[in-house]
A and B are shown apart, each in its own frame.
Chain A
Amino acid sequence: MLDENLRQIEQELLRLPLRRPPDSLDQRITQAGVYALAARRRRRILFRSALCLVAAACLLAVAAVVDWRQPGGQQAGSVFPDGTAYIAPIQIEQVWSSVATEPDMLEGEGQAVRVQHHVVRQIRWIDEARNIRIQWDFPSVHTETMPLQYEQWPVEYN
């Protein structure tokens, strides 16, 4: 409890004319409210846009996973034809190599040449997850016989 003297001081203090806030303060507070409201709206719009983007990204990711797991698509893990298991992602390379023998002159009804083509189709899988490389060779030989008059081989391999 305050004594009488301090109460008197209190009363004197209450009687003192205070410096009043400038008239512009009300306007500034109102403006501040308007700006804050606008800022909050902007933040809400930004937040919703960000949410939409995240949702779209999630949908895309789900679609990609579904596609990944569909037959024919690259699977997250599977088995090669020889039974070797692999883990995606894998890289698939195909290499073709072709060697042709020297043309043999064929004697007979007419002059002709015969060429044997040795073609190797090589398929490689690289399993990055396990750092292994699997390779299959598919050799094939076929023979071309053609009249001598042809100067160009009719078969081309890329």
Chain B
Amino acid sequence: MTLLAILKIVGFFLLILAVTKPLGLYMRRVFSGEKTFFDPIARPLERLIYRIGGVDQRKEHDWKQYTIAMLVFNVIGLLLLYAIQRLQHLLPLNPDKMGAVAPDLSWNTAVSFVANTNWQAYAGEATMSHFTQMVGLTFQNFVSAATGIALAIALIRGIARVSGKTIGNFWVDLVRSTLWILLPIAMISAIALMSQGVVQNFRPTVEATTIEGATQKIAQGPVASQEAIKELGTNGGGFFNANSAHPYENPTPFTNLLEMFLILAIGAGLCYTLGSMVGKTRHGWAVFAAMSLLFLAGAFIASGAEQAGNPIHHRLGVAASDGNMEGKEVRFGIGDSSLFAVVTTAASCGAVNSMHDSFTPIGGSVTLLNIMLGEVIFGGVGAGMYGMILFIILAVFIAGLMVGRTPEYLGKKIEAHDVKLAMLAVLILCFCILMGSAAAAISTAGTAALNNAGPHGLSEMTYAFTSATGNNGSAFAGLSANTRFYNIGLGLAMFFGRFLMIIPLMAIAGSLVTKKKAIEGAGTFPVDGPLFTVLLVGVILIVGALTYFPVLSLGPYVEHFLMHAGKLF
């Protein structure tokens, strides 16, 4: 590892560390209805939206009403996005005359964006009209992110409140996430992105004649407004096929840094929000530390592996010191590409600035493992926090078993009912990933779509179901996923991975909120120190390793050794 590569990782991490407390505190204020500096602008808009929506902001929901409201809102969003794609040829802002999107692809894309996954089985510039991008997809970029934040906040309320019944009002949390957090940050970021060259126009594809007389078609569109929320909301769906590798989405090292920052900012801030809302900021920092350890480990391993490069190509005469440049842009090089890949898979973002399919086996395995661990390394906005809380419940449960006491989490007794629900949520993810990958591996419909043979082919299929279930959306993109098998199968994986996990989670919130708070004693397992951080990391790694080590061995790990043996497929 070069000093520069270390500086990139550490420098970026310090940026995230710096924003965690101010953003986390701000979010607590927003969701507790306290005063913030942004009230003069957001409050009148909020009132207007409640009047249109008929929302009574003083009325709170219990966990069932909260979950039903969330599901209803998302199902309506799903139907609407499906309809927009199917009818895009009749809708405005379609200068390149895109036709209607096929039914299976529309289903896949609709689920994908509603579930905050943004898996893309299509090439944006060749499939989606400006209208579909700006109205259909951008809308879900905002509200799927707002939904995630709302759910995390509701769960935190369930932990923080004592002997209560309600966990907040879904509509209020949704609107406040949007108006106070997502929209203002996206607006400023979109302007910053444009200043560097990210496009924002409604023009058709430009035709250029090069100085050598060749013709080049250059697709245009309202990219900046979508790009900003794509990263901030950890959505990840690119305007263009090449996503953030495309110079119109990510033109300079500065935009690259900004995009990585946006991806992790809210997820990191929510750690502080958690600590602050439960009245124990040290607990928030302990969770932050667990996420940071996993993040930094992944970043150093991936960066080192990509810098070491591919001995097969070195033997052909390619400079070994340049590292593995296949699928990477010169302006980002090895360091900023590897870091982006770790950031986007740690968070459930899925934007890519380099092609993960062309990473070295170890570099690629880090991205895969990040998603398999449950997208809890900062994670998707909100989703990372509520996923992490599942692991916290498991961690305190295991600690309780070790000392032979009823486990407690912040004074709340964790009982059999709660642990069962937490395990159910974790198992749903494992089931979708492993069963989906297995189904693909044994069917011709699954293997016919491969771009690479050998162990790398297994990695491609596994990555697809992992990314879909984990609501990440990045891909080993060689897989030709726009087939009926993958569109429907991955659509189901995305839907289950998002919503089937949420239901047990909200049930936990409903169970915790009713409990009394026990007084901390000498036998209470502390959740605010290094011991807790280490135990939490341990639980995450053990659940991940036990579940996924076999498939990782057959995919990337065996490929690593075969690559060093010079074997080709």
- Genuine A/B complex: no
Binding site for B on A (CB under 8 A): none
Binding site for A on B (CB under 8 A): none
